[in-house]
Amino acid sequence: MARYIGKRVLTMIPVLIGVSLLIFLLLELAPGDAAQSILGDYASEESLNELREEMGLNDPLIVQYGRFMKDLLLKGDLGNSYQTGRPVLETILERYPMTILVAILAVIATALLGVTTGLLSAVKQYSWIDNICTVIGMIGVSSPSFFTGLILIFIFSGKLGWLPASGSYGPQYFILPIITMAFGSCASQMRMTRSAMLEVMRQDYIRTAKAKGQGDKKIVFHHELRNALVPIITVIGQQAGVLLGGAMIVEQIFSIPGVGKLMIDSIGTRDYPMVRGGVLFIALSFSVVNLLVDLAYSTVDPRIRSQLVHQSKKKKGASA
């Protein structure tokens, strides 16, 4: 198992290096450069050039990238913000927990909502509940988060005054953002739960459980749902990645100070080190989420678990 995790972590490294190179090159294309961004639009050509020389901006790209990677890997340094002058890493680490909190809450809400409605749809297949769940789920997928968010703000904040529209000063501030995200993504969770459950419900071992005299509740939750979990977790994992991206927009809608809002604000102010740091952080989180999802399968399904153990054992034997 440890071998497998190790292997997966190793394959993440080249991908992340690729991401860093990609984002480095992309931001080179961006209008204006660091010197301009720092000194403002009215700086003289002379002072701009001086600063460029000082910051090494006149060096070839590959040298600049090498310098960036050296700082990142040896010192864990992502550079300083053009705007505040503070280290990028420090600012991002400050904001990061908020993004992760929003994403995790959204994943939980999506999973709860999606799995419950999917379960209901499967158990009551072809009933009106099934149909209504499907249509509402479809509307959810089709409504972009910013529209859903604005409507929720209008109703619950503007008209009813129940919940705050923006900020992050307490649990109540997270309710609308989380609903917004869950509404948008629960449909695929629901669909997967429904079809996985219908598939499992047909299996012989469910009939075996019934033949033992097992009750309906236990059959649904213990026998059926647990067997349906592998495909369900796959979708939860895919959702987690998407929700991580979605968090960026939702942070913007509800003015939640996370990495997403930080990045989008930094794009506005051309604070490129900050943008670069943000992208790298979110890409890293995305890869870690995908790894965790793979590991989660193996805890649910003993067949996959023994397959992994088997594989690493075989590898060991081959290399010995």
What does the binding site for another protein look like in residue numbers (CB under 8 A)?
14-16, 18-19, 22-23, 26-31, 125, 135, 138-139, 141-147, 150-151, 153-154, 158, 194-195, 198, 203-205, 207-215, 223, 226-227, 241-242, 244-246, 248-249, 252, 263-264, 267-268, 275, 279, 282-283, 286-287, 300-303, 306
Q: CB 234 → another protein: shortest distance, Å?
A: 16
Helix 226-253 to helix 272-300 angle, to the nearest 10 degrees? 160
Q: CB 141 → another protein: shortest distance, Å?
A: 6
Token pair belonging to 310? 């088997």
Nearer to another protein, 31 or 171 (CB): 31
The answer to whether the beta carbons of residues 286 and 241 sit under 8 Å apart is: yes
Partners of 87 in beta bridges? 80
Nearer to another protein, 73 or 135 (CB): 135
Q: CB 33 → another protein: shortest distance, Å?
A: 12
The answer to whether the beta carbons of residues 143 and 184 sit under 8 Å apart is: yes
Q: CB 105 → another protein: shortest distance, Å?
A: 17
Q: CB 46 → another protein: shortest distance, Å?
A: 26
Residue partners of 230: CB distance under 8 A and separation at least 6: 196, 297, 300, 301, 304
Q: CA dihedral in degrees (187, 193, 199, 205; nearest 10)?
A: -170
Nearer to another protein, 38 or 289 (CB): 289
- The SS3 call for residue 85 is coil
Nearer to another protein, 50 or 135 (CB): 135
DSSP string, 112-173: HHHHHHHHHHHHTTTSHHHHHHHHHHHHHHHS-HHHHHHHHIIIIIIIS--S-SS--SSTHH
Nearer to another protein, 54 or 288 (CB): 288
Q: CB 303 → another protein: shortest distance, Å?
A: 5
Q: CB 195 → another protein: shortest distance, Å?
A: 6
Q: CA 146 to CA 181: how far, in whole Å?
A: 10
Q: CA 313 to CA 318: how far, in whole Å?
A: 9
Nearer to another protein, 50 or 141 (CB): 141
Nearer to another protein, 105 or 153 (CB): 153
Nearer to another protein, 80 or 145 (CB): 145
Q: CB 11 → another protein: shortest distance, Å?
A: 9
Within the chain, residue ranges assigned H as helices are 2-29, 34-39, 45-55, 61-75, 88-123, 128-142, 145-152, 172-201, 204-211, 216-218, 226-253, 259-268, 272-300, 302-319
